[in-house]
């Protein structure tokens, strides 16, 4: 990961022209609200079918918090969707290491599939109740702190609001 460019932009994650986008999924992998719902809607039924197959085969109990898994991307411009389950602050899941793991595991999975560019949302900053400034600080530190893991050259944080963008830009300056 040494030399990977890290940037933050305001925009629509589902429209990013990158190799992989990261889905802030729930553990069921079967769709939901927020980023998860938007990605499933934009990707079409192929994504849900692949997620159902993962549940039927390798992840019968769902994807654990802090872990990540890749599927194809259906109708999205990206080639892969990397699903990660962020910690839910409303359920008492407030361990920064669990949140950091969402970013590091997603990048490990991206490298495994050969992705050179990855776009992330602010995992856990929406309905999961984490403060976006904390998410930004943890996400940037986690992605900067990785040893070289393969092919990833660009890490892009795609944010849903000006406030979120400002939080990530601040974290990138630190």
Query: Is 36 assigned a catalytic role?
Result: yes
Provide the b/e sequence for 48-81 (b: ≥16 CB within 10 Å). Answer: bebbeebbeeebeebbebbbbbbbebbebebbbb
What span, in angstroms and rounded, lies between the C-alpha atoms of 153 and 173?
19
What span, in angstroms and rounded, lies between the C-alpha atoms of 116 and 127?
29
Joined tokens for residue 11: 């925009």
Of these residues, 36, 61, 67, 95, which one is catalytic? Answer: 36
Could you give the residue numbers annotated as active site?
A: 36
């Amino acid at each position: 990961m040494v030399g990977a460019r890290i940037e933050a932009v305001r925009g629509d994650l589902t429209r990013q022209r990158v190799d992989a986008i990261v889905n802030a999924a729930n553990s069921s992998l079967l769709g939901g609200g927020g980023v998860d719902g938007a990605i499933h809607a934009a990707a079409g039924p192929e994504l849900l079918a692949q997620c159902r197959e993962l549940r039927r085969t390798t992840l019968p109990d769902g994807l654990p918090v802090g872990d990540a898994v890749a599927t194809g991307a259906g109708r999205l411009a990206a080639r892969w969707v990397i699903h990660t389950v962020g910690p839910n602050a409303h359920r008492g899941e407030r361990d920064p290491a669990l949140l950091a793991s969402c970013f590091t595991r997603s990048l490990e999975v991206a490298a495994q599939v050969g992705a050179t560019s990855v776009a992330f949302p602010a995992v856990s900053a929406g309905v999961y109740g984490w403060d976006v400034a904390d998410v930004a600080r943890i996400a940037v530190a986690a992605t900067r702190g990785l040893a070289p893991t393969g092919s990833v050259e660009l890490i892009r944080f795609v944010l849903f609001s000006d406030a979120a963008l400002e939080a990530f830009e601040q974290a990138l300056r630190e």
